[in-house]
Structure 1
Amino acid sequence: MADVVFFDLDGTLVDHRSAVWEAIGRIVRAAPNATAPPEELAALWWTLEGRHMREYLAGQCSFTEHHRRRLRSFLPALGEPVPEDPRLLDAWMAERYLTAFEESWRCYPDVRPCLENLKRLPRGPRLAVLTNGDPGQQRAKLARFGLLEYFEAVLTPSELGAAKPGAYAAACRWMRTDPGQAVNVGDMLDGDVHAAALAGLTGVWLDRGIDFVTGGPSPAADRAVRRIERLTDLPGHLPRMIA
């Protein structure tokens, strides 16, 4: 039995992609001076989120600044001026996007049954969340759905000093476990499964049937990849994953 199971958050526990598209959709459909159709603007927002999030994870800017960079690129396409005062950018983000985004958070229905079943396993593993997101926002998601109580730790780049994939070794040290006794579960085949395996963990791919980045079908995976389609499949497989 594994000593620790790490769970990714966005795309694994909470439907981040749908929340983004729902929130930004409200904004672009109501934009009177938009320079492109709503679907193109929403796609642009998603692209900019990925670009500037990578800059944040690389240590090139703060989490707040990554929001500002996104807005500086996006507002001209929305047909709105770009404020020079960064505080106005912060206010736009808080009032017009983040409120709608947070209202759109949804927890996948298989999450709580999975966690409850793991609790009932004899000598069951300790549980932790390992996410590249902002610590305050990620804990707020877990608190919204009453999930914090299941996890011994919520680990982000702020705690570990590194983002995935570099965070796996640090996360194991934080949890006082050997990578060979740890399992990582996530929806990203490369970042959550292959990278975890390279760090010595057992990676489990939660294949929800959609590619998190593109929104298209799931990528093809080698037959050797440990794959589940629902989190509720995890407890039954877990005892056989680590001798």
Structure 2
Amino acid sequence: MITSAVRGVLFDLDGTLLDHRAAADAGITAWVAERAPGHPRLAEAARLWEALEEPHLAAWHAGECSWQEQRRRRVRALCAELGLDLPDDPDTAFASYARRYREAWRAYPDAAAAVAALRGFRLGVLTNGAQEMQEAKVRAIGLAGQVGPVLTGEVLDGCYKPALACYTGAAAALGLPPEQVLLVGDDVAKDVTSPAAAGMRSAWLDRLGVAPPPAGFPRITTLAELPALLSGEHLSGHSDLG
């Protein structure tokens, strides 16, 4: 069984342990509703906000702008799309959204039990968010001290997923070589195929079950399936894993 070599597990955070999408959707919908009661496109606000996340976060990861500036850009872009007046102070405007977002942070129902079931493994969280915020999320969902270190680009020499150095650095932070670590997350490129290219084992968490898994990689639909995956029932699906 190849799983005897798996000694560490890295969890993605947003979309894996914490329901980021539900929190962000609730936060931005409330923010727009307060600024423009009865706005005809209120139902679109969450989808538009989601579309703005990745490109502006990518600009921050690439060093093209600061963490605060990418937030300002997202606020301005959403207001322009919805025809809202641009706020005089985009930092204050984003903070108003962020308060609502934080209030909606919730762990997925399967998160705590999955972490508890992996006692004996070296655990960690590998996430592309800002260090302070991601640590706050782990505390808010009750997993601080249980899920290991929170690893972001801010503690991994500026490396973010899907850079290969991010995965090797995260494995090193657990004191393990990449081939002894399993990464589980909801993003196929960042949490499955790219870590495998760095020699790390990986599994796709497909909570919605709406798409076929990437060829040769294990897929789970709930974190409750992790113990069976690690027992060797399914983990041998990809040739790079053995």
Q: Which amino acid aligns with 1:193?
A: V
Unaligned runs of 5+ in 1: 211-216
Q: Which amino acid aligns with 2:220?
A: I
Matches within 5 A, 1:1-243: 1=4, 2-32=6-36, 37-76=41-80, 77-83=82-88, 88-94=89-95, 96-119=96-119, 124-160=120-156, 161-166=158-163, 167-209=166-208, 217=210, 219-240=211-232, 241=235
User: Runs of 4+ in structure 1 displaced over 4 angstroms?
Assistant: 33-36
**Measured at CA, do residues 164 and 183 of structure 1 come closer, stay the same or move farther in structure 2, by a change above 3 Å?**
same
More displaced, 126-135 or 42-51? 42-51
| RMSD between aligned residues | 1.9
Q: Which amino acid aligns with 1:172?
A: A
**Measured at CA, do residues 136 and 37 of structure 1 come closer, stay the same or move farther in structure 2, by a change above 3 Å?**
same
SS of equivalent to 2:118: helix
SS of equivalent to 1:60: coil
Tell me if the contact between 1:33 and 1:79 (Cα under 8 Å) persists in the aligned partners: no
Q: Which amino acid aligns with 2:224?
A: T
CA distance in 1, matches of 2:162, 2:45: 30
Tell me if the contact between 2:123 and 2:174 (Cα under 8 Å) persists in the aligned partners: no
CA distance in 1, matches of 2:86, 2:57: 23
Q: Which amino acid aligns with 1:169?
A: T
- Fraction of identical pairs, as percent: 36
Q: Which amino acid aligns with 1:103?
A: E
How big is the shift at 1:139? 0.7
How big is the shift at 1:148? 1.4
CA distance in 1, matches of 2:221, 2:212: 14
Unaligned runs of 5+ in 2: 236-240
How big is the shift at 1:41? 3.0
Which gives a bigger RCO, structure 1 or 2 (Cα 8 Å, sep 6+)?
1
CA distance in 2, matches of 1:128, 1:32: 41
TM-score normalised by length of structure 2:
0.87
Q: For residues 92-115 of structure 1, what are the alpha-carbon distances to aligned partners after superposition, in whole Å with 9 as ceiling and x for unaligned?
A: 111x20110001111001011111
How big is the shift at 1:194? 0.7
Tell me if the contact between 2:115 and 2:147 (Cα under 8 Å) persists in the aligned partners: no
**Number of residue pairs aligned between Structure 1 and Structure 2:** 227
More displaced, 104-113 or 31-40? 31-40
Q: Which amino acid aligns with 1:231?
A: L
Q: Which amino acid aligns with 1:80?
A: D
Tell me if the contact between 2:110 and 2:223 (Cα under 8 Å) persists in the aligned partners: yes
How big is the shift at 1:62? 1.6
